[in-house]
Amino acid sequence: MKTIGVFDSGVGGLSVLRALLAEIAGARFVYLADSSHAPYGERHSWQVVERTQRIANALRQRHAIDALVVACNTATALAIDSLRQHHPDLPIVGVEPALKPAAARSHSGRIGVLATRGTLQSARFVQLRRRTESDSARPLHFLCQPCDGLADAIERGDLTATQALCERYIDALQTAAPESGPIDTLVLGCTHYPFASEQLGALCGPAVSLIETGTPVALRTRALLGLAAGASSKPAALKLLSTGDPVALTRAAQRWLANAGQASPLQV
Ligand code: DGL
């Protein structure tokens, strides 16, 4: 049975793990929340590169993973190239803001993108945006909004702060460049944000489609490893680890995955 390592700066990658558990049968999962170093999105890129290297090494040495899912847009944007260079024999799947699916879904071509500052400033994101614009037969308008503090508020389970930050950032998107009309599609470009999708959806209204990446990433992982379709059995097939407070990860996993078991501490 293959063991798939999955990691994020914290609990956000549970939104990707949820899709992996729903789409892949017959695999074991080890999820690591690097909560003692969250948030990644407002750190220097060298710090994110260093954390991802340490995590990949620890998951390989201590948990013998056969593949790694980087369930974090920021870590993918800043560190996946160096991770692949250091681990050429390990299948690695990353997560990127879903600009192309959003371009295919949008009618107006006006698309909001919520992500961390680190993701939006990365060369990888700039290239993805340019490629998506140049591949499109019609003009696209991407309105990119860095969401300082939002992943952290979700990480802490602080609903009041989460609501206030969602209001601030959706308001900023709605008032940006009003002459070209409102957005009709919103990309959740950070794996924490699906856990605020109710608040974001209510603020945007029913005319705006919210796009996240958990399911496409799960399908890509399944195809890459030649695994069977179906749902994994929880909690037997899942180990939860945290570099921060394991109780907080257990609580988040109970809330978002249902019946996920207890998390354990891991120093990396
Ligand atoms: N969940 C992460 C992402 O997808 C990172 C959030 C953070 O740590 O800033 O970008």
The domain locations on the chain are 2-95+214-265, 99-211
Nearest-angstrom CA–CA distance, 78 and 191: 15
Owner of token pair 């400033």: 121
Do residues 240 and 260 lie in contact, with contact meaning Cβ atoms separated by under 8 Å? yes
Ligand 1 in reach of 41 Cβ (< 6 A): yes
Nearest-angstrom CA–CA distance, 77 and 31: 20
Atom of ligand 1 nearest to the CA of 39: 8
Cα 175 to averaged position of ligand 1 atoms, centre (Å): 25
Do residues 137 and 210 lie in contact, with contact meaning Cβ atoms separated by under 8 Å? no
CATH 3.40.50.1860 for domain 2-95+214-265: yes
Predicted local distance difference test score (pLDDT) of residue 231: 86
Predicted local distance difference test score (pLDDT) of residue 178: 66
Cα 118 to averaged position of ligand 1 atoms, centre (Å): 9
Which regions of the chain are under pLDDT 50?
A: none
Predicted local distance difference test score (pLDDT) of residue 111: 97
Fold match between domain 2-95+214-265 and domain 99-211: yes
This prediction has a pTM of 0.96
Written as six digits, the tokens of 83 are: 């991770």
Ligand 1 in reach of 71 Cβ (< 6 A): no
Predicted local distance difference test score (pLDDT) of residue 233: 77
Which CATH fold would you assign to the domain 99-211?
Rossmann fold (3.40.50)
Nearest-angstrom CA–CA distance, 186 and 98: 10
Cα 13 to averaged position of ligand 1 atoms, centre (Å): 8
Phi/psi of residue 161, each to 5°?
-65, -40
Predicted local distance difference test score (pLDDT) of residue 176: 81
